[in-house]
Amino acid sequence: MTARIGVVTFPGSLDDRDTQRAIRLAGAEPVALWHKDKDLKQVDAVVLPGGFSYGDYLRAGAISRFSPVMETLIDQAKAGLPVLGICNGFQVLTEAHLLPGAMLGNDHLHFICRDQKLRVENAGTAWTSDYEAGQEIHIPLKNMDGRYVADERTLDMLEAEGRVAFRYVARGAAADGYGNPNGSLRDIAGITNEAGNVVGLMPHPEHAVEPLIGSGRTDGLPFFTSILKKLVAAS
C-alpha cells in the first residue's frame, strides 16, 4: 500500500508544493486537492498548508473555512481522517472549529520569519509519533497572525487533556530561536483535538525536511513519517 496524503490549495496558498515534496520524501504519495472540489479523492490523510488564503481578508482562514472542500473535510475529520494544519492551515482549523481557540495578530504587530525552537509536548498523535515527548526541535516560523488565544477554561482543558502538542521554548536568546515569538498564551505553538487525528501548529515542518534546503535541518520530517507509519499500520 502507498499512503495517499492530500494537500489542499486555496487561493493564496504558498506552501502547498513544499508540503507535497515533504510528503514524497517521507515515502507517501502527495495528492493535490483544489479548494472548490468537495471530492477528497479517497486520500488517507489531508494537510492544509501555509500561506495567506484569500489574502487573509476578514481574518486569517475565515473565508477558506467555507470553501467546498472544507464541507467534506470537516465531516471526515470528525469521523477520524488525519488532518494537519500548518500556519494558515492551523488558522483554518480553528475557524472550522475542528480545533478550539483562535489566532490573532502577533503581539508586536510585525511579520516574523525565523527558525524557532519548539518542545514536543504530545508524541501520541497521528502526526507526532516519531517524536519523543520533551524533545526539542527547530522548525521554521513565518507568520503575521500567529498568536494563539483561548479563554482560561479552554486553556485549562487543553492542559489537563494533554492536547498541547507543541510549545515555544521560552529560555535562551531570541537570536537562537528561543522565546515566544508572537505572544501565544501559555507559549502554545500547536494543539490537537481529543482524538489525536487533527493537529494544528504555526511553524512550518515542511521547510525542515532536507539538510541542503530550507532550514538545513530535518526536524520537520517526522511529521510526515509519523502519519505514514500510522497509515501503513492501519492498512
Tens digits of residue pLDDT in 170-224: 887 776 788 999 999 999 999 999 999 999 999 999 999 998 876 778 999 999 9
pTM of the model: 0.95
Instruction: Give me the catalytic one of 95, 121, 206, 207.
Output: 206
35 is catalytic: no
Say if residues 148 and 185 touch (Cβ distance below 8 Å).
yes
87 is catalytic: yes
- CA–CA gap between residue 189 and residue 201 (Å, rounded): 6
CA dihedral 29, 82, 99, 206 (to 10 degrees): -30
pLDDT at position 60 is 83
Q: What is the 3-state secondary structure (H, E, C) of 140-172?
A: EEEECCCEEECCHHHHHHHHHCCCEEEEECCCC
Please list, in sequence order, all residues whose beta carbon lies within 8 angstroms of the beta carbon of residue 99, skipping any fewer than 6 positions away. Answer: 85, 90, 93, 191, 192, 193, 198, 200
pLDDT digits (tens, 9 = 90+) for 3-33: 999 999 999 999 999 999 999 999 999 999 9
pLDDT of 86 strictly over 90: yes
73 phi/psi in degrees, rounded to 5: -60, -45
Say if residues 164 and 188 touch (Cβ distance below 8 Å).
yes
pLDDT digits (tens, 9 = 90+) for 32-52: 999 999 999 999 999 999 999
Task: Give the cell for residue 58.
Answer: 476578514
Instruction: Give me the catalytic one of 35, 87, 121, 207.
Output: 87
Instruction: Give me the catalytic one of 35, 138, 204, 207.
Output: 204
Closest CA to 81 of 222, 204, 206, 227: 227
Alpha helices in the chain (DSSP H): 16-26, 68-78, 88-95, 152-160, 221-234
**Whole-number mean pLDDT of the chain?**
94
pLDDT of 61 strictly over 90: no
The DSSP 8-state label assigned to residue 227 in this structure reads H
Say if residues 135 and 119 touch (Cβ distance below 8 Å).
yes
Q: Which amino acid is at 79?
A: A
CA dihedral 5, 53, 113, 117 (to 10 degrees): -40
Say if residues 27 and 65 touch (Cβ distance below 8 Å).
no
204 is catalytic: yes
Task: Give the cell for residue 61.
Answer: 482562514
